[in-house]
Amino acid sequence: MPKSNDRKAQDVIKRKEEGIQVVLGQRVQARESTTLLECVHLLHNALPELNMDEIDIATTFLGHKLRAPIVVDSMTGGAPMAEKVNGTLALVAEEMGFAMGVGSQRAGLLSRAMAKTYAVARKNAPSIFLFANIGGAQLAKGFSLDDAKKLIEMIRADALAIHLNPLQEVIQPEGEPIFKGVLDKIHDFSKNLGVPIIVKEVGAGIGTEAAVKLELAGVKAINVSGSGGTSWAAVEKFRAEKRAMEGKASLGELFWDWGIPTAAALIGVKRTVSLPVIASGGLRNGLEVAKCLSLGADACGMASPMLKHAAQGSAVLTTFAKKVLDELRTTMFITGSKNLEALRSVKKVVTPPLTYWQNT
Ligand SMILES: Cc1cc2nc3c(=O)[nH]c(=O)nc-3n(C[C@H](O)[C@H](O)[C@H](O)COP(=O)(O)O)c2cc1C
């Protein structure tokens, strides 16, 4: 491996490790903003006319069967501790029939040793819908179709997720706020990569105008990843403070709660495009998952809760995953929803301030 690649790999490894540590050790959730899912009230049904054990939560996403509509959202890889985390996440995803994404695979391209911190996901989860990951800024900087194919091979991925994180790139100490040309590159990959492209945010949400452009560019699914959960402005603020980068730290503080709340992003994107949509960003329990599914989400992603439980081992993560599914099934039972299709047609009351976002 050329020396410069070695150094680049070390930088990315350090960054990935620090990101995990900050998420695990600091309070980096939204402070003043929320997902706005508290504005969605599913109508209670006192006469469900079904038994709890009849409830079916299976679904199909991009042609793949999921035993539950849950996605372990893109997080990690590229650092020694990430291998353990990815291994645990994948074991539980396989056990539960969830989909899963790995984190940005840049480090895996720079170093063979790091490639195995991602590959462990496929090793431990041979049958799940697993997606690769790379950042939009990398695409703008010249990441090629051949590079993208290597990411797919690295984990035998079923799809590629491209994350759009303009806010994070500005605040991140090593950030590269370079986004000119990203859409053309997405278009090119959509036509030529041979697996579907999912485009996601990382906690600031995808709006309707971006969604329309992405659909026209050939993207096959959108993960809205809205605000109300993990704030990457906050994570990068802590990293900037450690390096005495006051300007960046101050930006992180100011934009801590920035973004389109998850419920607003989901409603907007579902209304505007006809692609499958993953709801993520701040989902913390099965009731919130049920609300998103009822608003039209095709699956629901969780990132930091999965990481926090995975860090305590696979048994703890399995217990958490089962709890989320119990909460989802309970919501379905008391709304009289035998399956996810029925959950979608449950009557709901949507209150302000979520309603203020309806024309965005
Ligand atoms: C530790 C950690 C690392 C992450 N790394 C990535 C990444 O490499 N690529 C990506 O697309 N999203 C990444 N994300 C963003 C998540 O996929 C998700 O969009 C975001 O955290 C919001 O979900 P949450 O509120 O459930 O955490 C990361 C999230 C966490 C918590």
- Summarised one tens digit per residue, pLDDT across range 214-238 is 999 999 999 999 999 999 999 999 9
Domain count, the chain: 1
pLDDT in tens, 259-273: 999 999 999 999 999
Q: Is the CB of 281 under 6 A from ligand 1?
A: yes
Beta strands in 35-78 (DSSP E): 40-42, 59-61, 64-66, 70-72
| pLDDT, position 13 | 81
Cβ–ligand 1 contact at 261 (below 6 Å): no
Instruction: Return the residue whose CA atom lies nearest to atom 29 of ligand 1.
Output: 75
Structural Rg of the chain based on CA atoms = 19
Mean of the per-residue pLDDT values for the chain? Answer: 96
Q: Has residue 352 been placed in a domain? A: yes
Give residue 359's pLDDT. 84
Does residue 226's CB lie within 6 angstroms of at least one atom of ligand 1? no
User: In this predicted structure, what is the pLDDT of residue 4?
Assistant: 67
Structural domain includes residue 314:
yes
Confirm or reject: Cβ of 154 under 6 Å from ligand 1: no
Q: Containing H/E element for 194?
A: none
E strand segments, the chain: 40-42, 59-61, 64-66, 70-72, 99-101, 130-135, 159-163, 197-200, 221-223, 277-279, 299-302, 348-350
Count of Cβ atoms closer than 10 Å to residue 241 Cβ: 16
Contact between 140 and 117 (Cβ < 8 Å) = no
Residue 350 phi/psi, 5-degree rounding, is -115, 125
Q: Is the pLDDT of residue 3 over 80?
A: no
Q: Mean pLDDT, to the nearest integer, of 135-152?
A: 96
* The pLDDT value given to residue 37: 98
Ligand 1 contact via 133 beta carbon (within 6 Å): yes
Residue 16 in domain: no
pLDDT for residue 152 is more than 80? yes
Whether the predicted pLDDT of 1 surpasses 60 = no
For the chain, helix, strand, coil in percent to 5 are 50, 15, 35
The one-character DSSP state at 28 is -
pLDDT value at residue 74: 97
User: Is any atom of ligand 1 closer than 6 Å to the C-beta of 75?
Assistant: yes
Look at residue 345 and tell me if it is in a domain. yes
CA of 54 to the centre of ligand 1 (A): 34
Look at ligand 1, atom 18, and give the residue with the nearest C-alpha. 202
- Asked if residue 12 is part of any domain, the answer here is no
Which residues have C-beta within 8 Å of that of residue 350, sequence separation ≥ 6? 39, 40, 41
What is the per-residue pLDDT across 233-247, written as a single tens digit (0 to 9) for each?
Answer: 999 999 999 999 999
At residue 300's C-alpha, the angle toward residues 297 and 301, to 5°, is: 140
Q: Is the CB of 303 under 6 A from ligand 1?
A: yes
Range of the structural domain that residue 82 is part of: 23-357
Tens of pLDDT, residue by residue over 20-38, are: 999 999 999 999 999 999 9
Residue 44 CB: number of other CB atoms within 10 A?
A: 11
The predicted-structure confidence for 177-198, as pLDDT tens digits, reads as follows 999 999 999 999 999 999 999 9
d(CA 57, ligand 1 centre) in Å: 24
Q: Which of 5-14, 20-29, 122-131, 224-233 has the lowest mean pLDDT?
A: 5-14
- Asked if the structure places residue 10 within a domain, the reply is no
On whether the pTM is more than 0.75, the answer is: yes
Does some domain include residue 140? yes
CATH of the domain at 242: 3.20.20.70
In a domain, 335, yes or no: yes
| Model pLDDT for residues 292-345, shown as the tens digit of each residue | 999 999 999 999 999 999 999 999 999 999 999 999 999 999 999 999 999 999
- Of all protein residues, the one whose alpha carbon is nearest to atom 22 of ligand 1 is 281
CA of 55 to the centre of ligand 1 (A): 30
